[in-house]
A and B are shown apart, each in its own frame.
Chain A
Amino acid sequence: MDALKVSLCGIPLDNPVIPASGTFGYGHEFAQWYDINCLGTFSFKGTTLSPRLGNPTPRIAECSAGMLNAVGLQNPGVHEVIREELPKLRSCFHKPVMANVSGFSVDEYVEACRLLAAEPQVGWLEINISCPNVHGGGMSFGTDPASAALVVEAVRKVTDKPLIVKLTPNVADIIPIARACEDAGADGISLINTLVGMRIDLKTRRPVLARQTGGYSGPGIFPVALRMVWQVAGAVHIPVVGMGGVSSAQDVIEMMLAGATAVQVGTANLVEPTICRDIIMDLPRVMERYGITSLSDIIGGAR
Protein backbone atom coordinates (compact mmCIF):
# COMPACT_ATOMS: atom_id res chain seq x y z
CA MET A 1 0.00 0.00 0.00
CA ASP A 2 3.04 2.30 -0.38
CA ALA A 3 1.24 3.85 -3.31
CA LEU A 4 -1.06 5.72 -0.92
CA LYS A 5 1.66 7.00 1.43
CA VAL A 6 2.39 10.68 1.83
CA SER A 7 4.33 12.71 4.37
CA LEU A 8 2.72 15.65 6.14
CA CYS A 9 5.14 18.09 7.79
CA GLY A 10 7.64 15.29 8.37
CA ILE A 11 5.16 12.75 9.76
CA PRO A 12 4.38 9.83 7.47
CA LEU A 13 0.74 9.04 6.68
CA ASP A 14 -0.42 5.63 5.42
CA ASN A 15 -2.75 7.55 3.14
CA PRO A 16 -3.75 11.19 2.69
CA VAL A 17 -7.32 10.79 3.99
CA ILE A 18 -8.05 12.76 7.17
CA PRO A 19 -11.52 13.23 8.69
CA ALA A 20 -11.96 16.95 9.30
CA SER A 21 -12.44 18.61 12.64
CA GLY A 22 -16.01 18.95 13.86
CA THR A 23 -17.27 16.02 11.83
CA PHE A 24 -15.47 13.21 13.64
CA GLY A 25 -15.80 13.99 17.35
CA TYR A 26 -12.82 12.65 19.26
CA GLY A 27 -12.73 9.51 17.17
CA HIS A 28 -14.47 6.93 19.34
CA GLU A 29 -17.91 7.81 17.92
CA PHE A 30 -16.65 6.45 14.59
CA ALA A 31 -14.72 3.51 16.02
CA GLN A 32 -18.19 1.97 16.46
CA TRP A 33 -18.66 2.04 12.67
CA TYR A 34 -15.21 0.81 11.56
CA ASP A 35 -11.56 0.40 12.62
CA ILE A 36 -10.40 4.00 12.35
CA ASN A 37 -6.74 2.92 12.26
CA CYS A 38 -7.13 2.72 8.48
CA LEU A 39 -7.12 6.54 8.38
CA GLY A 40 -4.06 8.64 7.63
CA THR A 41 -4.94 10.50 10.81
CA PHE A 42 -7.94 12.57 11.91
CA SER A 43 -8.43 16.08 13.16
CA PHE A 44 -10.37 16.04 16.39
CA LYS A 45 -13.23 18.31 17.43
CA GLY A 46 -12.22 21.95 17.72
CA THR A 47 -11.02 22.44 21.27
CA THR A 48 -10.81 25.64 23.26
CA LEU A 49 -9.07 26.43 26.52
CA SER A 50 -12.37 26.65 28.45
CA PRO A 51 -15.45 24.45 27.99
CA ARG A 52 -18.08 25.83 25.60
CA LEU A 53 -21.78 24.98 25.48
CA GLY A 54 -22.12 26.20 21.90
CA ASN A 55 -24.93 28.07 20.19
CA PRO A 56 -28.69 27.76 20.70
CA THR A 57 -30.54 25.29 18.45
CA PRO A 58 -31.46 24.86 15.60
CA ARG A 59 -27.82 24.64 14.71
CA ILE A 60 -28.29 22.68 11.49
CA ALA A 61 -29.97 23.55 8.19
CA GLU A 62 -30.00 21.55 5.01
CA CYS A 63 -29.09 22.84 1.55
CA SER A 64 -29.37 21.22 -1.85
CA ALA A 65 -25.69 20.23 -1.90
CA GLY A 66 -24.70 20.28 1.73
CA MET A 67 -25.63 21.80 5.04
CA LEU A 68 -25.22 24.81 7.26
CA ASN A 69 -23.99 24.51 10.81
CA ALA A 70 -23.79 26.96 13.66
CA VAL A 71 -22.64 24.63 16.42
CA GLY A 72 -20.52 27.33 17.99
CA LEU A 73 -17.49 25.27 18.97
CA GLN A 74 -19.24 23.23 21.62
CA ASN A 75 -16.46 21.30 23.36
CA PRO A 76 -15.55 20.24 26.90
CA GLY A 77 -12.40 22.38 27.06
CA VAL A 78 -8.78 21.37 26.75
CA HIS A 79 -8.36 20.02 30.30
CA GLU A 80 -11.35 17.68 29.98
CA VAL A 81 -10.21 16.65 26.50
CA ILE A 82 -6.82 15.63 27.88
CA ARG A 83 -8.36 13.91 30.91
CA GLU A 84 -11.33 12.12 29.30
CA GLU A 85 -11.17 12.12 25.50
CA LEU A 86 -7.52 11.39 24.79
CA PRO A 87 -7.43 8.17 26.87
CA LYS A 88 -10.58 6.98 25.00
CA LEU A 89 -8.95 7.98 21.72
CA ARG A 90 -5.77 6.05 22.57
CA SER A 91 -7.81 2.89 22.97
CA CYS A 92 -9.20 3.05 19.43
CA PHE A 93 -6.59 4.98 17.41
CA HIS A 94 -2.89 4.16 17.45
CA LYS A 95 -1.43 6.82 15.18
CA PRO A 96 -0.52 10.47 15.75
CA VAL A 97 -3.67 12.61 15.81
CA MET A 98 -4.23 16.17 14.65
CA ALA A 99 -5.31 18.42 17.52
CA ASN A 100 -7.64 21.18 16.32
CA VAL A 101 -7.51 24.29 18.50
CA SER A 102 -9.65 27.43 18.54
CA GLY A 103 -9.40 30.51 20.67
CA PHE A 104 -10.74 33.95 21.32
CA SER A 105 -7.44 35.59 22.25
CA VAL A 106 -3.80 34.92 21.45
CA ASP A 107 -3.25 33.79 25.03
CA GLU A 108 -6.04 31.21 24.77
CA TYR A 109 -4.56 29.74 21.60
CA VAL A 110 -1.12 29.61 23.20
CA GLU A 111 -2.25 27.90 26.40
CA ALA A 112 -4.49 25.33 24.69
CA CYS A 113 -1.76 24.54 22.14
CA ARG A 114 0.90 24.26 24.82
CA LEU A 115 -1.17 21.75 26.78
CA LEU A 116 -2.13 19.66 23.75
CA ALA A 117 1.37 19.71 22.24
CA ALA A 118 2.64 18.06 25.43
CA GLU A 119 0.40 15.03 24.76
CA PRO A 120 2.39 12.23 23.08
CA GLN A 121 -0.45 11.22 20.76
CA VAL A 122 -0.76 14.70 19.28
CA GLY A 123 1.21 14.73 16.03
CA TRP A 124 0.11 18.04 14.54
CA LEU A 125 -1.62 21.11 15.89
CA GLU A 126 -4.22 22.52 13.54
CA ILE A 127 -5.02 26.07 14.56
CA ASN A 128 -8.48 27.14 13.51
CA ILE A 129 -8.38 30.87 12.94
CA SER A 130 -11.45 30.71 10.77
CA CYS A 131 -14.52 29.57 12.64
CA PRO A 132 -17.25 31.90 11.36
CA ASN A 133 -19.77 31.15 14.07
CA VAL A 134 -18.65 32.97 17.15
CA HIS A 135 -18.91 36.70 17.64
CA GLY A 136 -15.51 38.18 18.30
CA GLY A 137 -14.04 34.74 17.71
CA GLY A 138 -11.51 33.35 15.29
CA MET A 139 -12.96 35.36 12.41
CA SER A 140 -10.94 38.47 13.18
CA PHE A 141 -7.67 36.51 13.25
CA GLY A 142 -8.28 34.68 10.01
CA THR A 143 -9.41 37.59 7.89
CA ASP A 144 -6.37 39.79 8.43
CA PRO A 145 -2.74 38.78 7.64
CA ALA A 146 -1.26 40.63 10.62
CA SER A 147 -3.70 39.06 13.13
CA ALA A 148 -3.16 35.61 11.66
CA ALA A 149 0.60 36.05 11.99
CA LEU A 150 0.19 37.16 15.60
CA VAL A 151 -1.45 33.86 16.58
CA VAL A 152 1.01 31.73 14.63
CA GLU A 153 4.08 33.50 16.05
CA ALA A 154 2.82 33.16 19.60
CA VAL A 155 1.93 29.47 19.30
CA ARG A 156 5.20 28.77 17.46
CA LYS A 157 7.09 29.75 20.63
CA VAL A 158 5.49 27.03 22.76
CA THR A 159 5.84 23.98 20.52
CA ASP A 160 8.15 22.32 18.02
CA LYS A 161 5.35 20.07 16.77
CA PRO A 162 4.07 20.81 13.27
CA LEU A 163 1.68 23.76 13.20
CA ILE A 164 -0.98 23.73 10.53
CA VAL A 165 -3.12 26.85 10.21
CA LYS A 166 -6.71 26.33 9.07
CA LEU A 167 -7.94 29.23 6.98
CA THR A 168 -11.36 30.72 6.35
CA PRO A 169 -12.54 31.17 2.77
CA ASN A 170 -14.59 34.20 3.78
CA VAL A 171 -11.97 36.73 2.69
CA ALA A 172 -11.34 38.86 -0.40
CA ASP A 173 -7.86 37.47 -1.00
CA ILE A 174 -6.57 34.40 0.78
CA ILE A 175 -2.99 34.52 -0.52
CA PRO A 176 -1.62 37.29 1.74
CA ILE A 177 -3.11 35.49 4.76
CA ALA A 178 -1.54 32.16 3.82
CA ARG A 179 1.82 33.86 3.21
CA ALA A 180 1.63 35.69 6.54
CA CYS A 181 1.11 32.35 8.31
CA GLU A 182 4.07 30.82 6.50
CA ASP A 183 6.30 33.77 7.35
CA ALA A 184 5.20 33.57 11.00
CA GLY A 185 6.43 29.99 11.27
CA ALA A 186 3.53 27.75 10.22
CA ASP A 187 4.50 24.30 8.93
CA GLY A 188 1.38 23.86 6.85
CA ILE A 189 -1.90 25.44 5.75
CA SER A 190 -5.26 23.69 5.75
CA LEU A 191 -8.28 25.06 3.92
CA ILE A 192 -11.12 25.70 3.47
CA ASN A 193 -13.30 26.09 6.51
CA THR A 194 -17.01 26.67 5.88
CA LEU A 195 -18.49 29.47 3.80
CA VAL A 196 -20.93 31.75 5.62
CA GLY A 197 -24.48 31.14 4.47
CA MET A 198 -28.10 31.17 5.59
CA ARG A 199 -31.55 29.66 4.99
CA ILE A 200 -34.99 31.09 5.71
CA ASP A 201 -37.99 28.94 6.61
CA LEU A 202 -40.89 29.85 4.32
CA LYS A 203 -43.50 28.80 6.89
CA THR A 204 -42.17 30.89 9.76
CA ARG A 205 -40.44 33.53 7.58
CA ARG A 206 -37.52 33.37 10.00
CA PRO A 207 -33.94 32.17 9.54
CA VAL A 208 -33.74 28.40 10.07
CA LEU A 209 -30.67 28.70 12.29
CA ALA A 210 -31.06 30.21 15.73
CA ARG A 211 -27.93 32.26 15.01
CA GLN A 212 -29.32 33.32 11.62
CA THR A 213 -26.16 32.43 9.68
CA GLY A 214 -23.93 29.38 9.67
CA GLY A 215 -21.11 27.69 7.84
CA TYR A 216 -21.96 26.05 4.52
CA SER A 217 -20.20 22.75 3.90
CA GLY A 218 -20.67 19.69 1.70
CA PRO A 219 -20.25 18.83 -1.98
CA GLY A 220 -21.55 22.25 -3.09
CA ILE A 221 -18.40 24.00 -1.88
CA PHE A 222 -15.91 21.61 -3.53
CA PRO A 223 -15.12 23.79 -6.58
CA VAL A 224 -14.58 26.84 -4.36
CA ALA A 225 -12.32 24.83 -2.07
CA LEU A 226 -10.37 23.40 -4.96
CA ARG A 227 -9.79 26.86 -6.40
CA MET A 228 -8.49 28.18 -3.07
CA VAL A 229 -6.24 25.16 -2.52
CA TRP A 230 -4.85 25.77 -6.00
CA GLN A 231 -4.24 29.47 -5.19
CA VAL A 232 -2.57 28.84 -1.83
CA ALA A 233 -0.49 25.87 -2.98
CA GLY A 234 0.90 28.14 -5.68
CA ALA A 235 1.73 30.87 -3.22
CA VAL A 236 3.42 29.14 -0.26
CA HIS A 237 6.30 26.67 0.16
CA ILE A 238 4.77 24.65 3.00
CA PRO A 239 2.37 21.71 2.61
CA VAL A 240 -1.31 22.40 2.02
CA VAL A 241 -4.10 20.21 3.39
CA GLY A 242 -7.12 20.51 1.13
CA MET A 243 -10.72 20.20 2.27
CA GLY A 244 -14.21 21.34 1.37
CA GLY A 245 -16.91 19.06 0.03
CA VAL A 246 -14.62 16.08 -0.53
CA SER A 247 -16.68 12.89 -0.66
CA SER A 248 -14.99 10.45 -3.04
CA ALA A 249 -11.62 9.04 -4.05
CA GLN A 250 -11.88 11.12 -7.22
CA ASP A 251 -12.28 14.29 -5.13
CA VAL A 252 -9.18 13.35 -3.11
CA ILE A 253 -7.12 12.98 -6.26
CA GLU A 254 -8.46 16.24 -7.67
CA MET A 255 -7.48 18.08 -4.47
CA MET A 256 -3.99 16.57 -4.63
CA LEU A 257 -3.58 17.54 -8.27
CA ALA A 258 -4.48 21.10 -7.20
CA GLY A 259 -1.60 21.01 -4.72
CA ALA A 260 -2.85 19.33 -1.54
CA THR A 261 -0.40 17.02 0.26
CA ALA A 262 -3.24 15.51 2.28
CA VAL A 263 -7.01 15.82 2.09
CA GLN A 264 -9.62 16.22 4.79
CA VAL A 265 -13.10 14.81 4.51
CA GLY A 266 -15.70 16.62 6.60
CA THR A 267 -19.45 16.78 6.16
CA ALA A 268 -19.57 13.50 4.22
CA ASN A 269 -18.78 11.69 7.51
CA LEU A 270 -22.08 12.89 8.94
CA VAL A 271 -24.16 11.32 6.19
CA GLU A 272 -22.04 8.22 5.50
CA PRO A 273 -20.18 7.32 8.69
CA THR A 274 -17.86 4.89 6.87
CA ILE A 275 -17.06 7.27 3.98
CA CYS A 276 -13.37 7.74 4.87
CA ARG A 277 -12.76 3.99 5.02
CA ASP A 278 -14.68 3.59 1.74
CA ILE A 279 -12.60 6.31 0.05
CA ILE A 280 -9.34 4.71 1.23
CA MET A 281 -10.49 1.32 -0.08
CA ASP A 282 -11.54 2.87 -3.37
CA LEU A 283 -8.35 4.90 -3.97
CA PRO A 284 -6.23 2.09 -5.54
CA ARG A 285 -8.97 1.36 -8.09
CA VAL A 286 -9.39 5.02 -9.04
CA MET A 287 -5.60 5.53 -9.15
CA GLU A 288 -5.25 2.60 -11.52
CA ARG A 289 -7.97 3.98 -13.74
CA TYR A 290 -6.11 7.28 -14.12
CA GLY A 291 -2.64 5.76 -14.34
CA ILE A 292 -1.43 6.95 -10.93
CA THR A 293 1.17 4.69 -9.30
CA SER A 294 1.91 6.83 -6.24
CA LEU A 295 -0.22 9.57 -4.68
CA SER A 296 2.82 11.50 -3.50
CA ASP A 297 3.83 11.93 -7.14
CA ILE A 298 0.66 13.78 -8.12
CA ILE A 299 0.71 16.59 -5.51
CA GLY A 300 0.34 19.80 -7.50
CA GLY A 301 0.38 17.78 -10.69
CA ALA A 302 -2.19 19.96 -12.42
CA ARG A 303 0.04 23.00 -12.32
Chain B
Amino acid sequence: MNDVLFTVLDNALLARDVYRLRLQGDTGAIARPGQFVNLKVEGCFLRRPISVCDLEEDVLTLIYKVVGKGTATLSRLVKGETIRALTGLGNGYDCAPAGERPLLVGGGVGVPPLFLLAKELRAADKAVCVCLGFGAKEDAFYLREFRELGCEVRLATLDGSLGHKGFVTEILPERYDHFFACGPEPMLQAVCAVTRTSGQLSFEARMGCGFGACMGCSCQTLTGSKRICREGPVLRKEELLWTR
Protein backbone atom coordinates (compact mmCIF):
# COMPACT_ATOMS: atom_id res chain seq x y z
CA MET B 1 0.00 0.00 0.00
CA ASN B 2 1.24 3.43 -0.90
CA ASP B 3 0.01 7.02 -0.94
CA VAL B 4 0.94 8.40 -4.37
CA LEU B 5 0.57 11.71 -6.20
CA PHE B 6 -0.21 10.98 -9.86
CA THR B 7 -0.15 13.28 -12.86
CA VAL B 8 -2.89 12.92 -15.48
CA LEU B 9 -1.58 11.86 -18.91
CA ASP B 10 -4.99 11.71 -20.56
CA ASN B 11 -8.63 11.14 -19.70
CA ALA B 12 -10.77 10.22 -22.68
CA LEU B 13 -14.28 8.98 -23.38
CA LEU B 14 -14.05 5.31 -24.31
CA ALA B 15 -17.70 4.25 -24.54
CA ARG B 16 -21.04 5.60 -23.33
CA ASP B 17 -20.30 7.29 -19.94
CA VAL B 18 -17.08 5.26 -19.72
CA TYR B 19 -13.71 6.99 -19.49
CA ARG B 20 -10.12 5.86 -19.60
CA LEU B 21 -7.81 7.73 -17.27
CA ARG B 22 -4.07 7.28 -17.62
CA LEU B 23 -1.94 8.43 -14.70
CA GLN B 24 1.80 8.77 -14.26
CA GLY B 25 3.36 8.07 -10.87
CA ASP B 26 4.76 5.42 -8.56
CA THR B 27 2.95 2.15 -9.27
CA GLY B 28 5.37 0.06 -7.19
CA ALA B 29 2.80 -0.98 -4.58
CA ILE B 30 0.52 -2.60 -7.17
CA ALA B 31 1.42 -6.27 -7.12
CA ARG B 32 -1.44 -8.15 -8.78
CA PRO B 33 -4.20 -7.76 -11.34
CA GLY B 34 -7.56 -7.22 -9.65
CA GLN B 35 -6.19 -4.82 -7.04
CA PHE B 36 -7.59 -1.30 -6.83
CA VAL B 37 -6.60 2.25 -6.03
CA ASN B 38 -8.58 4.71 -3.90
CA LEU B 39 -8.72 8.15 -5.48
CA LYS B 40 -8.99 11.44 -3.61
CA VAL B 41 -11.53 13.27 -5.76
CA GLU B 42 -11.85 17.02 -5.28
CA GLY B 43 -15.11 17.92 -3.53
CA CYS B 44 -15.87 14.39 -2.31
CA PHE B 45 -15.35 13.40 1.30
CA LEU B 46 -14.72 9.68 0.80
CA ARG B 47 -12.24 8.35 -1.72
CA ARG B 48 -13.38 6.52 -4.87
CA PRO B 49 -12.15 2.95 -5.31
CA ILE B 50 -11.34 2.07 -8.95
CA SER B 51 -9.81 -1.20 -10.15
CA VAL B 52 -6.47 -1.26 -11.93
CA CYS B 53 -6.96 -1.90 -15.67
CA ASP B 54 -3.39 -1.76 -16.86
CA LEU B 55 0.08 -1.04 -15.64
CA GLU B 56 3.18 -0.15 -17.62
CA GLU B 57 6.16 0.93 -15.56
CA ASP B 58 5.01 4.23 -14.06
CA VAL B 59 1.77 4.52 -16.05
CA LEU B 60 -1.46 3.38 -14.45
CA THR B 61 -4.61 2.95 -16.53
CA LEU B 62 -8.04 3.13 -14.91
CA ILE B 63 -11.39 2.72 -16.67
CA TYR B 64 -14.47 4.01 -14.88
CA LYS B 65 -18.09 4.78 -15.62
CA VAL B 66 -19.67 8.07 -14.64
CA VAL B 67 -22.41 7.08 -12.19
CA GLY B 68 -22.47 9.99 -9.75
CA LYS B 69 -20.84 13.13 -8.48
CA GLY B 70 -17.40 11.61 -7.78
CA THR B 71 -16.96 9.95 -11.16
CA ALA B 72 -18.39 13.03 -12.92
CA THR B 73 -15.68 15.15 -11.26
CA LEU B 74 -13.12 12.54 -12.22
CA SER B 75 -14.22 12.74 -15.87
CA ARG B 76 -13.31 16.45 -15.93
CA LEU B 77 -9.65 15.88 -15.04
CA VAL B 78 -7.32 17.05 -17.82
CA LYS B 79 -3.73 16.39 -18.81
CA GLY B 80 -1.20 17.80 -16.37
CA GLU B 81 -3.54 17.92 -13.36
CA THR B 82 -2.64 15.85 -10.31
CA ILE B 83 -4.63 13.41 -8.23
CA ARG B 84 -3.72 11.49 -5.07
CA ALA B 85 -4.38 7.80 -4.68
CA LEU B 86 -3.81 5.03 -2.19
CA THR B 87 -2.44 2.23 -4.32
CA GLY B 88 -2.00 -1.53 -4.11
CA LEU B 89 -5.26 -2.11 -2.23
CA GLY B 90 -7.07 -5.44 -2.03
CA ASN B 91 -5.90 -8.98 -2.67
CA GLY B 92 -6.23 -9.20 -6.46
CA TYR B 93 -6.51 -12.30 -8.64
CA ASP B 94 -4.27 -15.29 -8.04
CA CYS B 95 -2.92 -16.55 -11.38
CA ALA B 96 -1.58 -19.81 -9.92
CA PRO B 97 -4.76 -21.91 -10.34
CA ALA B 98 -5.43 -20.60 -13.90
CA GLY B 99 -4.46 -23.84 -15.63
CA GLU B 100 -3.64 -23.88 -19.34
CA ARG B 101 -7.02 -22.58 -20.50
CA PRO B 102 -8.30 -19.87 -18.18
CA LEU B 103 -11.68 -18.24 -18.83
CA LEU B 104 -12.23 -14.55 -18.15
CA VAL B 105 -15.81 -13.29 -17.80
CA GLY B 106 -16.51 -9.56 -17.60
CA GLY B 107 -19.65 -7.48 -17.50
CA GLY B 108 -19.79 -3.75 -18.28
CA VAL B 109 -17.54 -1.68 -16.11
CA GLY B 110 -16.38 -4.93 -14.48
CA VAL B 111 -14.29 -5.61 -17.58
CA PRO B 112 -11.26 -3.36 -16.79
CA PRO B 113 -9.46 -5.44 -14.13
CA LEU B 114 -9.59 -8.44 -16.47
CA PHE B 115 -7.27 -6.67 -18.88
CA LEU B 116 -4.17 -6.69 -16.69
CA LEU B 117 -5.07 -10.24 -15.71
CA ALA B 118 -5.29 -11.30 -19.38
CA LYS B 119 -1.96 -9.64 -20.01
CA GLU B 120 -0.27 -11.62 -17.23
CA LEU B 121 -1.89 -14.88 -18.29
CA ARG B 122 -0.84 -14.31 -21.90
CA ALA B 123 2.71 -13.51 -20.75
CA ALA B 124 2.65 -16.95 -19.13
CA ASP B 125 1.52 -18.34 -22.53
CA LYS B 126 -1.95 -19.43 -21.39
CA ALA B 127 -4.76 -19.92 -23.93
CA VAL B 128 -7.06 -17.18 -22.64
CA CYS B 129 -10.73 -16.98 -23.57
CA VAL B 130 -12.38 -13.65 -22.69
CA CYS B 131 -16.17 -13.44 -22.63
CA LEU B 132 -17.48 -9.92 -22.34
CA GLY B 133 -21.02 -8.69 -21.80
CA PHE B 134 -22.29 -5.15 -22.33
CA GLY B 135 -25.70 -3.49 -22.50
CA ALA B 136 -25.30 -2.37 -26.10
CA LYS B 137 -22.72 -1.65 -28.79
CA GLU B 138 -22.23 1.90 -27.42
CA ASP B 139 -21.19 0.47 -24.04
CA ALA B 140 -18.55 -1.92 -25.36
CA PHE B 141 -14.85 -1.22 -25.02
CA TYR B 142 -11.43 -2.90 -25.12
CA LEU B 143 -12.38 -5.69 -27.56
CA ARG B 144 -9.42 -4.86 -29.80
CA GLU B 145 -7.07 -4.54 -26.82
CA PHE B 146 -7.95 -8.04 -25.60
CA ARG B 147 -7.56 -9.45 -29.14
CA GLU B 148 -4.18 -7.78 -29.49
CA LEU B 149 -3.01 -9.69 -26.40
CA GLY B 150 -3.84 -12.88 -28.31
CA CYS B 151 -6.99 -13.73 -26.37
CA GLU B 152 -10.04 -15.37 -27.93
CA VAL B 153 -12.74 -12.73 -27.44
CA ARG B 154 -16.46 -13.57 -27.31
CA LEU B 155 -19.07 -10.89 -27.00
CA ALA B 156 -22.66 -10.53 -25.88
CA THR B 157 -24.89 -7.47 -25.69
CA LEU B 158 -28.29 -7.37 -24.04
CA ASP B 159 -29.89 -5.69 -27.07
CA GLY B 160 -27.97 -7.71 -29.65
CA SER B 161 -26.41 -4.63 -31.28
CA LEU B 162 -23.00 -6.31 -31.13
CA GLY B 163 -22.15 -10.01 -30.83
CA HIS B 164 -24.56 -12.51 -29.29
CA LYS B 165 -27.91 -11.12 -28.14
CA GLY B 166 -28.28 -11.99 -24.50
CA PHE B 167 -26.25 -12.65 -21.40
CA VAL B 168 -22.53 -13.27 -21.23
CA THR B 169 -23.20 -16.61 -19.53
CA GLU B 170 -24.70 -17.82 -22.84
CA ILE B 171 -21.41 -17.55 -24.75
CA LEU B 172 -19.00 -19.34 -22.42
CA PRO B 173 -16.76 -21.96 -24.06
CA GLU B 174 -17.16 -25.69 -23.43
CA ARG B 175 -13.74 -26.27 -21.94
CA TYR B 176 -11.68 -24.21 -19.54
CA ASP B 177 -9.63 -24.98 -16.44
CA HIS B 178 -10.50 -22.11 -14.11
CA PHE B 179 -12.49 -18.88 -14.40
CA PHE B 180 -11.97 -15.28 -13.37
CA ALA B 181 -14.96 -12.93 -13.29
CA CYS B 182 -15.81 -9.32 -12.59
CA GLY B 183 -19.12 -7.57 -13.12
CA PRO B 184 -22.45 -6.78 -11.53
CA GLU B 185 -23.52 -9.16 -8.80
CA PRO B 186 -26.39 -10.84 -10.74
CA MET B 187 -23.84 -11.65 -13.47
CA LEU B 188 -21.40 -13.08 -10.93
CA GLN B 189 -24.17 -15.18 -9.46
CA ALA B 190 -25.12 -16.47 -12.92
CA VAL B 191 -21.48 -17.24 -13.71
CA CYS B 192 -21.21 -19.26 -10.50
CA ALA B 193 -24.35 -21.17 -11.42
CA VAL B 194 -23.21 -22.21 -14.92
CA THR B 195 -19.50 -22.88 -14.32
CA ARG B 196 -18.28 -26.24 -13.14
CA THR B 197 -14.67 -25.39 -12.39
CA SER B 198 -13.12 -23.45 -9.56
CA GLY B 199 -12.98 -19.70 -10.04
CA GLN B 200 -12.33 -16.27 -8.65
CA LEU B 201 -14.83 -13.39 -8.62
CA SER B 202 -14.20 -9.73 -7.99
CA PHE B 203 -16.83 -7.80 -6.02
CA GLU B 204 -17.81 -4.17 -5.77
CA ALA B 205 -18.86 -2.55 -2.48
CA ARG B 206 -19.54 0.79 -0.87
CA MET B 207 -16.35 1.36 1.07
CA GLY B 208 -15.40 3.72 3.82
CA CYS B 209 -11.62 3.52 3.88
CA GLY B 210 -10.61 0.89 1.29
CA PHE B 211 -7.81 -0.55 3.40
CA GLY B 212 -9.48 -2.62 6.10
CA ALA B 213 -10.01 -0.17 8.93
CA CYS B 214 -13.70 0.69 9.05
CA MET B 215 -15.47 -2.64 8.46
CA GLY B 216 -17.87 -0.82 6.14
CA CYS B 217 -17.67 -3.39 3.33
CA SER B 218 -17.74 -6.67 5.26
CA CYS B 219 -19.55 -9.62 3.75
CA GLN B 220 -20.26 -13.09 5.01
CA THR B 221 -18.67 -16.10 3.34
CA LEU B 222 -18.43 -19.81 4.06
CA THR B 223 -14.95 -19.10 5.43
CA GLY B 224 -16.01 -16.27 7.73
CA SER B 225 -16.50 -12.55 7.48
CA LYS B 226 -14.42 -10.86 4.76
CA ARG B 227 -13.70 -7.22 4.07
CA ILE B 228 -14.21 -6.66 0.33
CA CYS B 229 -11.42 -4.04 0.46
CA ARG B 230 -8.90 -6.24 2.23
CA GLU B 231 -9.59 -9.99 1.97
CA GLY B 232 -11.31 -9.12 -1.33
CA PRO B 233 -12.27 -7.72 -3.74
CA VAL B 234 -11.53 -11.16 -5.22
CA LEU B 235 -13.22 -14.08 -3.49
CA ARG B 236 -13.00 -17.73 -4.44
CA LYS B 237 -16.18 -19.31 -5.83
CA GLU B 238 -15.87 -22.04 -3.22
CA GLU B 239 -16.23 -19.61 -0.32
CA LEU B 240 -19.37 -17.81 -1.53
CA LEU B 241 -22.65 -18.37 0.29
CA TRP B 242 -24.34 -18.82 -3.16
CA THR B 243 -22.50 -22.08 -3.69
CA ARG B 244 -23.79 -23.66 -0.50
Contact = CB atoms under 8 A, between A and B. Distances in A.
Q: Interface SS of chain A: helix, strand, loop or mixed? A: loop
B21 to A, nearest CB: 20
Interface string A136-166: 0000000000000000000000000000000
Interface in B205-222: 205-209, 211-220
A64 interface: yes
Given A60-B208, A74-B225, A23 B46 contact: no
A62 B46 contact: yes
Given A67-B45, A271-B47, A58 B206 contact: yes
Contacts of B208: 59-60, 67, 69, 270
B65 to A, nearest CB: 14
Nearest to A55: B218
Interface string A258-292: 00000000000111011000000000000000000
Contacts of A270: 46, 208-209, 213-214
A77 interface: no
Question: What range describes how many residues of B lie at the interface?
Answer: 20 to 34
Question: What range describes how many residues of A lie at the interface?
Answer: 20 to 34
A29 interface: yes
Contacts of B218: 53-54, 57, 59, 71, 74
Contact of B211 (A29, A54, A59, A71): A29
A50 to B, nearest CB: 14
B213 A30 contact: yes
Contacts of B216: 57, 59-60, 69, 71
Given A62-B45, A74-B218, 13 more contacts: A22-B214, A45-B215, A53-B220, A54-B225, A57-B217, A59-B206, A59-B208, A59-B217, A60-B46, A60-B214, A71-B218, A270-B208, A273-B3
